[in-house]
Amino acid sequence: MRSSPTNRIKCPRHFAGLALIALLVLSGVATAAADSFKLVRGGSVTGLRVFPLDSGSFLDLGELSFALGGRLAWREPGATITWRVDDVGFEFSDMIVFFRAGSDSYQLVAAPRLQSGRFLVPLQLAAEYLPRLFPGRFEYDKLAGGLIDHGASSSPVSPGPPGTTQQPVATRDGRSYRIRTVVIDPGHGGKDPGTTARRYKLHEKQIVLDICRRVARMLKERSGLKVRMTRDKDVFIPLARRGRMANESGAGLFVSIHVNGSNNRRLDGSSTYFLSAAKTDEERATAMLENGALKYEVEQQDNPHRDEISLILQDMAQNEYLRESQGLSEIIQQELARITGLRGRGIRQANFAVLRGAYMPAALVETAYITNRSDEKNLNTPSFREKLAGAITNGIIKYVEQYHRKLDNGS
Higher pLDDT, 16 or 147: 147
What mean pLDDT do residues 307-320 have?
55
Fold observed for domain 5-149: Copper Amine Oxidase; Chain A, domain 1 (3.30.457)
CATH 3.30.457.10 in the chain: give the residue spans.
5-149
Higher pLDDT, 132 or 197: 132
- Structure confidence by residue, pLDDT tens digits, 43-95: 889 999 999 988 888 999 999 999 998 888 888 877 889 999 988 999 999 88
| pLDDT attached to residue 61 | 94
Percentage of the chain surpassing pLDDT 90? Answer: 48
Calpha distance 276→323 (Å, rounded): 11
For the ranges 163-177, 223-237, 374-388, the lowest mean pLDDT is seen at 163-177
| pLDDT attached to residue 378 | 96
Q: Given 3.40.50.10470, 3.30.365.10, 3.40.630.40, 3.90.1170.50, which CATH number is that of 181-408?
A: 3.40.630.40
What mean pLDDT do residues 322-346 have?
94
Calpha distance 404→407 (Å, rounded): 5
| pLDDT attached to residue 74 | 87
**Is 50 exceeded by the pLDDT of residue 158?**
no
**Is 70 exceeded by the pLDDT of residue 231?**
yes
Q: Are 143 and 249 in contact (CB under 8 A)?
A: no
Burial bucket for residue 23 (CB in 10 Å: 0-12, 13-18, 19+) = middle
CATH 3.40.630.40 in the chain: give the residue spans.
181-408
| pLDDT attached to residue 294 | 60
| pLDDT attached to residue 155 | 42
What mean pLDDT do residues 282-296 have?
71
| pLDDT attached to residue 29 | 32
Q: How confident is the model at residue 310 (pLDDT cuts 50, 70, 90)?
A: low
| Cβ-count burial 367-389 (b if 16+ within 10 Å, e if not) | bbbbbbeebbebbbeeebbebbb
**Is 60 exceeded by the pLDDT of residue 1?**
no
Calpha distance 364→227 (Å, rounded): 17
pTM exceeding the 0.85 threshold for the entire prediction: no
Calpha distance 409→176 (Å, rounded): 13
**Is 90 exceeded by the pLDDT of residue 167?**
no
Q: What is the mean pLDDT of the chain?
A: 80
110: nearest Cα among 69, 196, 51, 168: 51
What mean pLDDT do residues 231-252 have?
91
Calpha distance 244→251 (Å, rounded): 10
What mean pLDDT do residues 101-116 have?
87
Helices (H), 277-381: 281-291, 308-320, 322-336, 353-356, 373-379
3-class SS of residue 361: coil
Reported in sequence order, the residue ranges of 230-318 that DSSP labels E, i.e. its strands, are 253-260, 270-275
